[in-house]
């Protein structure tokens, strides 16, 4: 009685195993192909994004070679004549809050003497119109038209933001060296005005040197030293520069030792620079995770999985 169910159970298990093997032979290769396709798509998307970002940075880094000292890129300066036609009727109608925000951003990017707020807003409107035309024209062909349209719309604002970031980074990078030169000039017996002139003349071309050159011009025009330094802090709008200016103004008003104040500021700036470098070094492994997962791992999996997929397909 007990011998009947045994063979039936064994046969059913054999049939189940055979069906599972057949299903796995069909499903596993298709699943692996889907996984490999997804990994390849992720790698391609990552490479495309990195290429677009590099192209944006290259485009943003272009400089106009016509006028000396101009810092506007070619594509922006080329569109200024057409933007001027829109800026004339737009200027009186521009909201004061928007005008002030754009003016602050242009001053932070050091292009406030080359382009007015209404001109920049008109240029941004031209880019938005061009982006809309491209998106509508290419909508029936591919989603790429929408991507290009959005990129054209945000390009002026992205350039303005990146220009300010580059300016801030250059100021923070050179400030400690500049303060050291001021300290050496003061400890050598020079006055503050002489130390400012000597340090400015020996600094390489940078936003900080341009700012202190403007301070020298303000002093020659009869402006007081405190007002010229406060104007510098307002233009650069960086906390370390504001702290340096406040310390210099207070020491000059109270009759304190400027060399001691600058020495303390120099030590503080060096410590801040070291702390920023240490922070960036600690952030590097975290930032490398995305390229590692999206670019390196998929290629490694493709190389390792290719023989396995071939064997499964042949089986």
pLDDT in tens, 31-64: 555 555 555 555 555 545 554 554 454 444 433 3
pLDDT in tens, 222-280: 888 888 888 888 888 888 888 888 888 888 787 777 878 888 888 888 888 888 888 88
**CA triplet 220, 225, 226: central angle to 5 degrees?**
150
pLDDT of 212 strictly over 60: yes
- CATH code, 173-289: 1.20.81.30
Check: CB of residue 9 under 8 Å from CB of residue 17: no
pLDDT in tens, 131-150: 888 887 777 666 777 788 88
- Record the pTM: 0.62
For 21, 167, 204, 274, the CA distances from 33, given in Å and listed in that order, are 18, 48, 57, 49
Please state, in angstroms and rounded to a whole number, the distance separating the CA atoms of residues 111 and 39: 44
Ranked by mean pLDDT, the top range of 29-43, 55-69, 185-199, 214-228 is 214-228
Check: CB of residue 170 under 8 Å from CB of residue 71: no
Comparing 199 with 255, the larger pLDDT belongs to: 199
pLDDT of 15 strictly over 70: no
Per-residue pLDDT at 112: 80
Owner of token pair 């925000």: 101
Per-residue pLDDT at 31: 53
Q: How confident is the model at residue 13 (pLDDT cuts 50, 70, 90)?
A: very low
Please state, in angstroms and rounded to a whole number, the distance separating the CA atoms of residues 233 and 235: 6
Residue 79 neighbours by CB distance under 10 Å: 17
Per mean pLDDT, which range of 124-128, 137-141, 211-215, 242-246 is the poorest?
Answer: 137-141
Please state, in angstroms and rounded to a whole number, the distance separating the CA atoms of residues 202 and 215: 15
Per-residue pLDDT at 17: 46
Per-residue pLDDT at 35: 54
């Amino acid at each position: 009685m007990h011998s009947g169910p045994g063979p039936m159970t064994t046969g059913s298990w054999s049939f189940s195993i055979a069906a599972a093997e057949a299903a796995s032979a069909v499903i596993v290769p298709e699943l692996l192909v889907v996984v490999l396709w997804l990994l390849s798509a992720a790698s391609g998307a990552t490479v495309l994004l990195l290429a677009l970002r590099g192209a944006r940075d290259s485009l943003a880094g272009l400089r106009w070679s016509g006028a000396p000292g101009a810092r506007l890129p070619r594509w922006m300066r080329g569109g200024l004549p057409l933007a001027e036609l829109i800026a004339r009727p737009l200027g009186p109608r521009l909201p004061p809050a928007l005008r002030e925000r754009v003016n602050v951003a242009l001053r932070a990017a050091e292009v406030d003497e080359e382009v007015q707020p209404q001109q920049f807003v008109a240029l941004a409107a031209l880019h938005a119109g061009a982006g809309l035309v491209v998106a509508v024209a290419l909508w029936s062909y591919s989603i790429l038209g929408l991507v290009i349209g959005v990129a054209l719309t945000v390009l002026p604002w992205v350039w303005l933001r990146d220009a300010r970031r580059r300016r801030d980074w250059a100021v923070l990078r050179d400030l400690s060296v500049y303060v050291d030169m001021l300290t050496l000039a003061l400890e050598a017996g020079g006055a503050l005005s002489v130390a400012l002139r000597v340090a400015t003349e020996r600094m390489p071309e940078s936003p900080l040197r341009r700012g202190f050159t403007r301070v020298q011009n303000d002093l020659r025009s009869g402006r007081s030293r405190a007002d010229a330094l406060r104007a510098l802090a307002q233009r650069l709008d960086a906390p370390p520069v504001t702290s340096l200016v406040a310390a210099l103004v207070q020491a000059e008003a109270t009759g304190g030792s400027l060399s001691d104040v600058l020495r303390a500021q120099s030590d503080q700036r060096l410590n801040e620079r070291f702390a920023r470098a240490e922070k960036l070094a600690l952030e590097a492994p975290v930032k490398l995770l995305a390229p590692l997962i999206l670019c390196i791992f998929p290629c490694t999996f493709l190389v390792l999985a290719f023989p396995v997929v071939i064997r499964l397909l042949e089986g």
